[in-house]
Amino acid sequence: MRPPPHILVVNGIKVRRPVFVLGAPHSGADLLARALKRSPGFHVTIGRAAVAHVVYAFARRPSIMRRKGGGAVRVLRDALAEAWQIVPGACAECPAACREAGAVTGVGPCASPGTVVRFGDASPDLLYSAPVLLQAFPDARFVQFIRDGRDVAADMLADRTSMAWARPGMLSDETEFPNPFLGVNAGEHRDKWSRMDAAGKCALRWRSAVRLSAALRQELPRDQLLTVRYEDMASSPAETIATVSEFVESRVSTVALYGAAAPRVGAWRTGLEPPQAALVEKIAKDELVRLGYL
């Protein structure tokens, strides 16, 4: 007999149908996180330390998620339960991105237990933990973002924080392969990756992320996964948010999208040098073509 699903209770609230926002770096997922965080009834966290540590551990060493015993599920569920706690001063522990998304100016909390009915998380690189999230929350809803890989590469190159992972030391002797986080498939490619131009490394990361997104599209039922093309949200924000609202079965704020520092469509045209653009297109050609960007 199948064991009953685990029911997580945070601040006296049962966590049902949590919403997780996934995507490659600079895919535009942060804008939806902002909209969700400012929507009535939602408590959405972004990059809380407890979650970030677990997410990056899973991303760097995927085998942790495959170990028997359900330890990965418990660890991630516990990390999210800690992040979702609504207590005085909670927002003081949040990173700047989370505080800005929630328009928090003090120490918080950014939500009131009496008003919260849905939880969510949009931490960077949450995509790599999607299989464990589904095991931890079988009724979860996932919204994944796809954006032109050339634009992603251009914005990553301009972001020092995003490029911290690109240093050669990231591929150590303990690195597991294949490594979706870095987009490196085998150990024999280690030296080639270390010598590669930064734009190429960004292309590998984007290519790997969209391949993971495609795999999720095949594995999850339509009522649990929504794929949003960033370019569609940029051109028709109200329509896109209406689609998201219908998918998550709750009203999502459109107002939060306006006035935000949104990524530019076509940023690669000025953000990448011609050799960099050519390298990105060479590495990620199949995915760029499949998604209609080439």
What mean pLDDT is reported for the chain? 88
pLDDT of residue 173: 67
Please list the residue range(s) of the chain that carry CATH number 3.40.50.
8-147+221-262
Task: State residue 98's pLDDT score.
Answer: 84
Residue 188 in 3-state DSSP? helix
Query: pLDDT digits over 234-256, tens only?
Result: 999 999 999 999 999 999 988 77
Which residue pairs, CB below 8 angstroms and at least 24 apart, start in 156-163? 156/25, 156/26, 156/202, 156/205, 157/198, 157/199, 157/202, 157/271, 157/272, 157/276, 158/271, 159/25, 159/26, 162/25, 162/26, 163/198
Residue recorded with tokens 């690669």: 268
- The architecture of the domain spanning 8-147+221-262 is 3-Layer(aba) Sandwich (3.40)
What does the pLDDT read at residue 61?
85
Q: Which residue has the tokens 């107002």?
A: 255
Q: Which range has the worst mean pLDDT, 18-27, 124-133, 160-169, 243-252? A: 160-169
Q: What percent of the chain has pLDDT over 70?
A: 94
Residue of 255, 252, 254 whose CA lies nearest to 44: 252
pLDDT, residue 3, reads 44
pLDDT band at 133 (very low <50, low <70, confident <90, very high): very high
Report the C-alpha gap between 283 and 288 in whole angstroms. 10
Instruction: Identify the DSSP state of 179.
Output: B
Tell me what pLDDT residue 1 has: 37
252 contacts 241 by C-beta, under 8 angstroms: yes
The confidence band for 2, taking pLDDT boundaries of 50, 70 and 90, is very low
Whole-number Cα distances in Å, 119 to 27, 33, 69, 188, 291: 22, 12, 26, 42, 31
- What is the average per-residue pLDDT within 21-44? 91
